[in-house]
Structure 1
Amino acid sequence: MGAYIDQFEIDLLRYKIQPKEAERLQPQQALLLKAADNAIKDAGLDENKNVAVLVAMDTELAIHQCLARWDVEWQIEDALKNTDLDLEKSSISELIDITKKAIYHRQGAPTPSEFTSFIGNLIACRISSLWDFSGPAFTVSCTENSVFKALEIAQNLLSLGEVDAVVVGAVDFAGGLENVLLRQKENPSKHTINPSTLFSTNSNNWLIGEGAGAVVLKKHKSDSSDKVYAVIDEIGSWKTGNSIDYLELAATGIVTQNQFEQNQLLKKKPKNSVALGTIKANFGNCFAASGMASLIKTALCMYYRFIPGIADWSAPENKAFQKTNYYFPTESRPWILAKGQNERKASINGVGDIQIQLSLDQGKSYQGFGFLQTQLPNLFILTGNSAEHLLNQLDLLNSQIQNGHELLTIAATLHDTFCQQKSKYTIVLVAKDQISLQKEIEVFQKN
């Protein structure tokens, strides 16, 4: 069981990939190229800049199929020499060809990209070449903590002023046959119908996850006009978590790693309420890319101001968390700051004693419409100094929705007006769509 990449589309012209090369290109290289390109565009980077590219990944074990296919020729020839079989050259060639196809089937002759696309550094170089970046480009490998190590290197590059920005990408197709067989041998898992996450009564397993992701890092400047999803304050050992509101767990599903994380949580109990969650409940364990999935998810939650619910959650497998301030959100809800709190803060756990500390200033947070705003009812605040004035406001609101104005835009405008003007009376309408809002208006108009 797991979350597999079934198929994806890429623009061969945009990424300068020949059609014949695309047939042999390793899919993880193509997927990361697409993810990194989108991240760079979102960050607004320009070409020909001093930008570094770091790729977090492990060796793709499918390369053993290519190696086995490559070695078949001399292995069969050696085997025939040690037997009494005497075959003609044409028969030996046919035997070699059949065996190669049985191990790793490819139409036509092998191409260089079929083998070179397994080399991690070439993925980083390809991204850098696409944008003509002049900074260093290389791969970082450290199993599940590959992203954490890549972020540490990026932090050093930016703090020393060696580059203007760093693109950090990660990819892992952990659902490959070789990957699954090896990891199941090392850490057998028991799958359930509705698997969930760490500390759940049905979480004694790890799930396969596949994917690629990328982020762009810059040195933080308070006066910058850049779109900031989150600020990485620190990458290091575990903190007590007294000042955070959300903790993204490693939750690998591997028994020894789960137990270590649980012990660490119970050892460092927070004084304030801290929500727990993990992206692996949605996407499974992406191994080398799992840190990237956790980082992107947590940053988006801070940016769009919501605490995410845990998918397929049942209950903790023990009562150890009942006497702590940790809690497991079953549904996503708005991330509301406490009185006097100016920053949203969160942490992301790696495997072992490593953690990322994130923050986002309330003033820098996204001012548009976030995820939950599109899922929850809107508040329409009408103000006036008399009943007649309020009725006029209701008529104007009704006219706006009749003319097809966006409900989110109307709600935001009314909220701004409410904050700027002081009135004697206020009406608040709660509605999710146009029909329910018109019913609300009719109720007040009749009364």
Structure 2
Amino acid sequence: MTIGVLLVREEVLPLMHDGVASRLAPLLSKIMLGEEWDGGTASDLPIQVRAWDGSVIGPPGAPAFVIRHRRALRRLLWKPGEMGLVRAYVAGELDIEGDVFAALDAVQRVMRSGDEQIRLSSDDKREIVRTAVMLGAVGPEPKPPPEEFPPGRRGDRSSGPLTESAAFFARMLGPEMAHSGGLWDEAIDLDDAQRTALESVTERLSLFQGARVLDLNAGWGALACHLAARHGCRVVALTRTPEQAAYIKDRAAGLGDRVQVLGWDLDEAGRGPYDAIVGLTEIEPLDRDAARLYELLAPGGRLVLQQPVRRPGPHRVRRTFTTSYMFPEDGELLPLGELIATLENAGLEVRGVAALREHHARTLRAWAANLERHWAECVELAGIGRARVWLLYLAASALATESGRIGVHEIRAIRRDRDGRAGTTLVEGRSVPGRVAP
């Protein structure tokens, strides 16, 4: 999920006012795109770029990227492209005024993807330094914002995005704290979409009173408590953080022993068997051992996974906004085909795949709207840096999903019984037409 797309191509940056902005155009075109500035035309620019002295380039009324401090340029000098840009935004040295979605979408349509590292020639570097000196932007590399993970951090569940408080997530996700996507076909709002989605998943799990269910990613307990309270299931809920565990225990206080809360490690799920296993996630990949899932499922047991996926093809692992601020390097997205092959190789039979990309994007937009609606409270709860990280992530992810660069699919699988059958419930009550003799 790359968001190195926040500034415009140099051929569409017209000069509107004298001042710092006019000098920024060639500088930013070099360090962001590695290309030459040729003056551009005013009608093509979809955004404004405003400098700290008030000078502006770009058309009136367009979303504005505001460079509030020279340190933002210094970050871009040291880290041309995505990481320098993100650091400046998270640190508050670069701002976005107006509709964040419109601003990101506008520049994505005129700028390259940002996936490749920008390489500058010696002449480019000399010209950049000369301009930076004139603007007072030369100096040592600024330290990354405190919200950024240390390089190489892997699998540390004690820090990261889920350390925000339950109160923060209640503002962003909504009062039900459902961390997975809703179904929006006939929903009137986010809460309605989430309720529909939970019931839909429950139906596909073919549950019954007293069924034993393993929730691989319980989050804040929306699905686990739904299954226990409305369907009489016995749920083992795996959680990432102690705060999540405490929240779910309090939420399930009136459900007796029908919800058991454990840690994140899959080994804590015991030896099984489980009648159903479910893993819902809309904000990160769910990395679980498929062979272990097969062992935990009872013969005929159902598995439902909802996963974000990337397009197939070569994929270069590198530090990005997502791995540096949201999820560690071991959280890379996989193509859909690889996920299906992994489940099949473990002995599970994939029975269906459904695309949820549009539903996912709309859910991300709803969460971002909640975050902006409760911005002051969220900043107080998590800090301005983390609030900015979340807003940038939700907006960029929604746009990437809407454009098809990221997909979200639900995969339904089953563990066949000893005779190779996938369970009578799949055909129970249905007539199977036979051949009619002539």
Give TM class, smaller chain: under 0.3
TM-score (norm 1): 0.26
Rg bigger for which structure?
1
TM-score, length basis structure 2: 0.27
